[in-house]
Structure formats: structure tokens, C-alpha cells
Amino acid sequence: MTKQEALPLHFFIGLFSLVALVAQLVVIPQVGATYASKYPEVAYLEPLYVTALVVALVGLEVALLSAWQLVSAAVTGRALSAWPTRWTNIMTASLIFMAAICAGVCVHAGFVASVGGPAMLFGLLLSLALIPVAFALRHWVRGWLRNENVHAVSAS
């Protein structure tokens, strides 16, 4: 992979990281505070859910950092060393971490606190669906890195 091919990937990874950071620091706390003031009978849940979702976004940010590192590894030609393999595992683990936290919030809101209604069931299903997607993404990225290494070797 050339630097020109990696530039748009790095741009979009950086953009997604910025959006995740804004959501983590601004949007989620504001939405939580708005709902806590609108529904005072469940306002006690706001700190718990805001904290859990902010921590879940850390998992997404770590996955995006891993994607940045993997693109950088493809550019430098070190696609099959142990370093990118570790980043692939970190990316998968962080996505599963994020999915588990989101699923926990949905389970607690829908089945313990009895708020949120059917949306919590759909949120739970979507969160759990992210786990096999993370493993499929891991498999795809490792294949992509293998192909990048083959292309780098044949080009030299």
C-alpha cells in the first residue's frame, strides 16, 4: 500500500475518532442530563448509563487506533510481523468490549430497570451481533494484511 492510498484511510479513521470523541465528551452527557431532567423518576440511572456508554466508546476509539496502526503497517511493509497481528487482536477485543458494555446497558435498562421498552431488546440484539462481526473483521484484516505483504514482496 502506498502513502497516497493510505491517506484517505487515515483521514476517515481520524474523522471517525473525532466524532467518537465528541460523542463521548459532549453528546452522551448532554443527552443523559436532558433525559434525567425530563424523567426524574429514572434520573438515578443517568450517571450509570452515561459512564457505561462513555467507557464503551473508549473501546471504539481503541479499535480505531488499531485500524490506524494496521494501515500504517501496510504502508511500511511490515504487514505480517507480530506487531500488526497484535493490533488486529486488540481491535477485536476492544470491539467485543464495547459490544459487551452496550449489551449490559440494554439488559439492565430493559430487564432490570424496566425502561426503554422494545428498543432495549433491539439494542441488545445489535450489540450481540457486533461480536461475530468483530471476529469476521479480524479474519478479513488478517487476509488483507497477508495480501498487502504478498504485493509488497512481488513489487520489490
**Number of residues that this document lists for the chain:** 156
**Amino acid identity for residue 51 in this structure:** T
**151 vs 76 pLDDT, higher one:** 76
Is 53 within 8 Å of 105 (Cβ atoms)? yes
pTM of this structure:
0.86
The yes-or-no verdict on residue 78 having pLDDT over 80 is: no
Q: What is the structure's pLDDT at 79?
A: 63
What is the average pLDDT across 105-129? Answer: 93
Residue range 96-108, pLDDT digits in tens? 999 999 999 999 9
Is 133 within 8 Å of 61 (Cβ atoms)? no
Q: How many CB atoms sit inside 10 A of residue 84's CB?
A: 24
Residue range 7-24, pLDDT digits in tens? 999 999 999 999 999 999
Q: What is the structure's pLDDT at 61?
A: 96
d(CA 47, CA 29): 9
Q: What is the structure's pLDDT at 82?
A: 73
